[in-house]
Amino acid sequence: MKIGVLALQGDVREHRKVLQDLGVEAPEVRTTADLAGVDALIIPGGESTTMGKLMVEGGLDRAIRERAERGMPVYGTCAGMILLARAAGGGEPPLLRLMDIEVQRNAYGRQVDSFETDLDVPALGPPALHAVFIRAPVVERVGRDVDVLASLESRPVLARQGALLVSSFHPELSGDARVHRYFLELVRQRQEF
């Protein structure tokens, strides 16, 4: 199994380390050729406008959208969540528009307002998941096919729609690999078909 990490900008190294620690090959994805060689993709946190522009420049936006529409699992954290959303407020970057959610960029505040908290995530079991929020987006609306896996103050922060997974927070920074394991299980389920 190869889980690519979009390597245009953001928390690339951190996601790759978690995956490699789980025994998974985690190549960097910078081109459409790189994307063709992976079974699934993680779009890391970073700066969504920059990432979106670079995706469009290299044709990755179309290639990711086409692969995801054919069933390739994609996990977006923070900026990745914004890029996967159907709509985003607060300045809209080029979006993949794959997941039926609407988000507000930087809704939890500026960099200095970043915080950590524990979340109850029944799909992952106990104990609570330690979550790191950095200039995080807020999910303002979810479609009926979206499963909310965790919320903070009644706002979804971890959600799934089919083979798509998103989080407002950065699990790659928490030292807890359960969200990545959950994503790997989605990938395994898709490979069984």
pLDDT tens digits, one per residue of 38-52 = 999 999 998 888 999
The verdict on whether 172 is a catalytic residue reads yes
153 is catalytic: no
Per-run averaged pLDDT (10 residues), the chain, 193 residues: 95 96 97 97 92 93 96 96 90 82 76 81 96 89 96 94 96 95 95 67
Position 192 scores a pLDDT of 67
Spacing of C-alpha 45 from chain mean position: 8
* The residue to which tokens 């990432």 are assigned: 51
Active site residue: 66, 116, 140, 172, which one? 172
Beta bridge mates, 119: 129
Round to whole Å and give the CA distance between 168 and 158: 7
Q: What is the pLDDT of residue 167?
A: 97
Helix (H) or strand (E) holding 36: helix 32-36
Among residues 170, 180, 185, 192, the one annotated as catalytic is 170
Phi, psi values for residue 96, rounded to 5°: -80, -25
| 155-179 pLDDT per residue, tens | 999 999 999 999 999 999 999 999 9
Identify the pLDDT of residue 191. Answer: 78
Pick the CATH number of 3-191 from 3.40.50.880, 3.10.20.440, 1.10.10.10, 3.20.20.70: 3.40.50.880
Can you read off the two tokens belonging to residue 85?
Answer: 């959303």
In this structure, are residues 178 and 130 in contact, taking their beta carbons and an 8 Å threshold?
no
User: Does a cis peptide bond (omega within 30 degrees of 0) precede residue 156?
Assistant: no
CA distance 180 to 116: 18
What CA–CA distance (Å, rounded) separates 132 from 118? 9
Cα dihedral 68→71→75→80 (10° resolution): 10
**Distance (Å) of CA 34 to CA 41, 49, 94:** 11, 22, 21
Q: Which two tokens stand for residue 121?
A: 């995530």
* Number of other CB atoms surrounding residue 112 within 10 Å: 6
Q: Is 170 a catalytic residue?
A: yes
